[in-house]
Homo-oligomer: A and B are copies of this chain.
């Protein structure tokens, strides 16, 4: 228990400096000595103490990542991308789940600061201005994730939700639909606003097409089901022939309500497009057409920007990376027959 470099040094008959060199720059040490030291490490079961390392180094070997919801596959994929990229530089990702709660978010930021992380990646709850100001004031490299910004103090990595909205609506129009409806809310979520804006752009290009906005209180299956039930009751002339849901959960609710009961069919009477391309989307009763985001790439890119900023905080130009989403076509939008 509690073996230190000093114990290893004694055992191997060398100095502590040499043990440290074996650990960090084995090429600077003669092969014979390296062997002796490695043998001593094994015999004693020595495990490096990260705290001492970090104290000496002035900062930790980790990056903090705060997501809005760990159980959302989008964020777990982002985390995976970040971990893999960080591992390339021998760094670890500390994962915090804010659960859209500002107090939890603030608690994680405090923790990360005490831990002297290299920097923080995060998807802020609300506008988080005060917390962002504090991070900037303290000079902690910070990259905003899935949150477009023009703030020049921070880099950001996001996906073009306007383009995603356009893709979805364009696809519906291309497959012959004309009476579109966008389902989602609340409208002050930037994802909702942007996706709707993109859809609007596409509809505006097409003379005889219309787009209705149907608001929900949240992006959940239940909310989608309720909207779906309301739509089911409408007269045929009032009914949209295509629905674009702000995310896959809402889309699944719509699908359930429309296809379960009554005479309507998907995609026969109504086509549905979701957003996020979660696993459930392809496993739905009618496999769901959706918009896929390059989640892992978002994570790795964010780490990349973070490390570059951490290396040269003054010179590094903050960047705003925006990825393009991708349309994944499945049965729920097959053309009308």
Known contacts: A97-B76, A256-B285. The answer to whether A116 contacts B50 by CB under 8 A is: yes
Contact B54 A283 (CB under 8 A): no
Which residues of chain B have C-beta atoms less than 8 A from A72's C-beta? Answer: 71
B-contacting residues, A237-290, CB 8 Å: 253, 256, 259-260, 280, 283-285
B-contacting residues, A277-330, CB 8 Å: 280, 283-285
Contact B283 A220 (CB under 8 A): yes
Contact B283 A260 (CB under 8 A): no
Known contacts: A70-B71, A256-B285. The answer to whether A52 contacts B50 by CB under 8 A is: no
Q: What residues make up the interface of A, taking CB atoms closer than 8 Å to B?
A: 1-2, 45, 47-52, 54-55, 58, 60, 70-73, 76, 79, 92, 94-95, 97, 111, 113-116, 137-139, 220-222, 225, 253, 256, 259-260, 280, 283-285
Q: Shortest Cβ distance from A15 into chain B, in angstroms?
A: 21
CA distance A95 to B260 in the complex (A): 40
Which residues of chain B have C-beta atoms less than 8 A from A114's C-beta? Answer: 47-50
Q: A50-B51, A51-B115, A71-B76 are known contacts; what are 7 more A-B pairs with Cβ within 8 Å?
A: A1-B138, A50-B114, A70-B70, A70-B71, A71-B73, A95-B97, A221-B283
Contact A55 B58 (CB under 8 A): no
CA distance A38 to B254 in the complex (A): 56
CA distance A280 to B55 in the complex (A): 46
Known contacts: A97-B76, A220-B283. The answer to whether A116 contacts B70 by CB under 8 A is: no
